[in-house]
Amino acid sequence: MKANDSKNQESSGFTLESEFQVGDRIACFGGLYSNYLALQAAIDDAKSQQISQMYCLGDLGAFGPYPDRVFPILAEHKVLCVQGNYDDSIGNHLDDCQCGYTDPRDNHFAKISYDYTLANTSEVNRQFLKTLPKSRTLRMGNSNVLLCHGSPRQTNEFLWESATSSLFLNHLCDQYQCDVMVGTHSGIKWQRDLGDGRLFVNVGVLGRPENDGQLNVWYALLTANANGVSVEFRPVEYDHQRLANEMQAERLPQEFVETVLTGYWTTCLEVLPGKERLAGKH
């Protein structure tokens, strides 16, 4: 692996940051939402998979307890991060999380989560969040890979599987001169082969289960191949009961705790398209 520290670009155009050879693998973690227990479990799993580098695609805080606990883990394992909307908000002390919700109930819970996270993130960690790049650009084999949070054009854009055309994804690949786009934000993993070696991947999130009644969370392994990039979604089991207990100890909403214990979302429901919402219970 060859890597350098060049800054990411925030507009069209592909400026290489790191390069990986055919056969190399990278791990991509989606939103952490302060779930330091799942982060540690995911790192342990990724290290058993001969990975060359680990990345986190942003939203380090939110939802869970003790937001400062993910930072030393990320630093210890040299996980390179992308800035999510939450990180931008916490880092810059903005009024809200910029999650993109429009429903009053969703925004009510988003505010509780945001106020707690902001109050419990140290100054030094806020500075770290503030300086994160909005995207990272890699070369994996012959493919240009762009890591972002929501979409390359908008950090908090929701790209749902059922509501995003391949036409649009190809447009983004053209505009940002990449073959593979990797994001998170919406909280549910999916991938789509766009043809000609092009690929879109939503790596899911480590922060909370993905509304299907399963208690595990997910991340993605990307492998550089001769003809493109392949994806393996990896389930991550972690001590969800401990997380739930700690959320209760921190007086976070019972609705959040219920999600951790049942695998079904209880909030942020109104942004879900019909197909994705039908997978859940609420």
Binding residues for other proteins, rule: CB under 8 A, are 102-104, 107, 153, 161-168, 170-172, 174, 190, 192, 270-271, 273-275, 277-278, 280-282
DSSP bridge partners of 180: 145, 199
Least distance (Å) between residue 7 CB and other proteins: 24
The three-state (H, E, C) secondary structure of 46-113, written as one string: HHCCCCCEEEECCCCCCCCCCHHHHHHHHHHCCCEECCCHHHHHHHCCCCCCCCCCCCHHHHHHHHHH
Least distance (Å) between residue 29 CB and other proteins: 24
Least distance (Å) between residue 240 CB and other proteins: 24
Q: What are phi and psi of 183, to 5 degrees?
A: -140, -175
Local structure of residue 27 (DSSP, 8 states)? E
Q: Which is nearer to other proteins, 251 or 281 (CB)?
A: 281
Local structure of residue 256 (DSSP, 8 states)? H
Closest CA to 153 of 190, 185, 193: 185
Q: Which is nearer to other proteins, 19 or 106 (CB)?
A: 106
Cα distance between residue 169 and residue 152, in whole Å: 10
Are 114 and 96 contacting, i.e. CB atoms less than 8 angstroms apart?
A: yes
Q: Which is nearer to other proteins, 67 or 280 (CB)?
A: 280
Q: Which is nearer to other proteins, 103 or 255 (CB)?
A: 103
Q: Which is nearer to other proteins, 4 or 104 (CB)?
A: 104
Least distance (Å) between residue 107 CB and other proteins: 8
Least distance (Å) between residue 282 CB and other proteins: 6
Q: Which is nearer to other proteins, 130 or 192 (CB)?
A: 192
Closest CA to 121 of 82, 74, 87: 87
Least distance (Å) between residue 202 CB and other proteins: 12
